[in-house]
Amino acid sequence: MIVLSVESSCDETSVSIIKDGINVLSNVVLSQIDIHKAYGGVVPEIASREHIKGITMVFEEALNIAKVKKNEIDLVAVTKGPGLIGSLLIGVNAAKAFAFSNDIDIVGVHHIAGHIYANALTKDLVFPLICLVVSGGHTELILMKEHYDFIKLGETMDDAVGEAYDKVARTVGLGYPGGPLVDKLAFTGEPNYKMPDISLGKTYDFSFSGIKSHVINLVHNIKQRNEEINVPDLCASFQEAVSEVLVTKSIRAIKEYDAKMFMIAGGVAANKGLRKKIDERIKNVEVIVPEFKYCTDNAAMIGVAGYYQYLKTKKTDNMELNGSSRINLV
């Protein structure tokens, strides 16, 4: 089965061609990072306009690289949410137009399902498994007992972990996107700053607003005393506290549900500090992490998720398919 997939939930315009849920024939990603960098974050209206400007070119390039004809495509998969509504609508409408004009079935795919299934491009999934979803908008622990069966064990009660990373980066004067910069500096510092307990007891839920506020207040107080902030040490302290709670809860879930596999998903899955902590702490279970190029938003992950969604449900959407800024995975 050949799937053409589209992702436009935020500031990447991406189209991919996937064969049999594993072979990436093409995966074209047009990033807007340099455009939004001047504003310190993604500007929704600008993102929508850039999607409009690039979507046709990205479709054509993906088809050309894959050397696939339109009549060879069996299914169209597109991110239906969550995300920026203006951005989503560009991708959804482009995908519907392509599907309608070429008489191809279409399925709407949850953005987080895409991130989860990016791991299937690395290795066949083995169930039951635990997936830690970490991104700028989501932090969740997911149990899967079979393909396309998502059971939410816990989630963030406030800020997503990626959001907290970006806020810490802005607080200490780093650029955008801030998460990778905090991660990089953390490896040059020591965790010498005291951070609050963010474990929330024995639940599988998370909370990052407290540690984010702690860092903001800490930096403010240091400046008030005209003292120097050791930014690498602060980044190391923040990253150690955050990665520790993420990995500790993951280990507990692995044991409780007798998981045979553990994996991470989402943009923060590219975080080297988190990957190092996982490598050091998680033993006696197969661990897979997506390639760096599949951690951030891309259409290949949507194509894989759409493939398995269709195999599981045998259901397709009609031309009333629409984007939604808020939609639950479970």
**pLDDT tens-digit readout, 37-50:** 888 889 999 999 99
Together in a domain, 249 and 205: yes
Query: In the block, which residue shows the tokens 């053409």?
Result: 4
**Residue 169 token pair:** 């980066």
Is 326 part of any domain?
Answer: no
- Return the pLDDT at 175: 84
What average pLDDT does the structure give for the chain? 96
Give me the percent of the chain exceeding a pLDDT of 70. 100
Same domain? For 47 and 144 the reply is no
Residue 277: pLDDT band with limits 50, 70, 90: very high
Overall domain count for the chain? 2
Residue 9 resides in a domain: yes
For the segment 196-224, the average pLDDT, to the nearest whole number, is 96
User: pLDDT digit string (tens) for 152-172?
Assistant: 999 999 999 999 999 999 999
CATH of residue 179's domain is 3.30.420.40
Q: What is the pLDDT of residues 110-139, one digit of tens each?
A: 999 999 999 999 999 999 999 999 998 899
Counting every residue written for the chain, the total comes to 330
pLDDT at 40: 84
| Contact of 75 with 107, CB cutoff 8 Å | yes
- The CA–CA distances, whole Å, from 9 to 84, 137, 151, 260, 321 equal 6, 11, 23, 31, 15
Residue with tokens 């709670």: 245
Q: What is the mean pLDDT of residues 253-274?
A: 97
Looking at residue 38, its pLDDT comes to 85
Give tens-digit pLDDT for 48-72: 999 999 999 999 999 999 999 999 9
Residue 177 pLDDT class (50, 70, 90 cuts): confident
Q: How many CA atoms lie within 13 A of 176 on its CB side?
A: 15
Q: Which two tokens stand for residue 247?
A: 């990995």
Does the model's pTM come out above 0.85?
A: yes
Tell me, yes or no, whether 191 and 99 share the same domain.
Answer: no
pLDDT band, very low/low/confident/very high, at 176 (cuts 50, 70, 90): confident
Q: Do 129 and 13 share a structural domain?
A: no
Instruction: Provide the residue range defining the domain that includes 151.
Output: 124-289
pLDDT value at position 238? 98
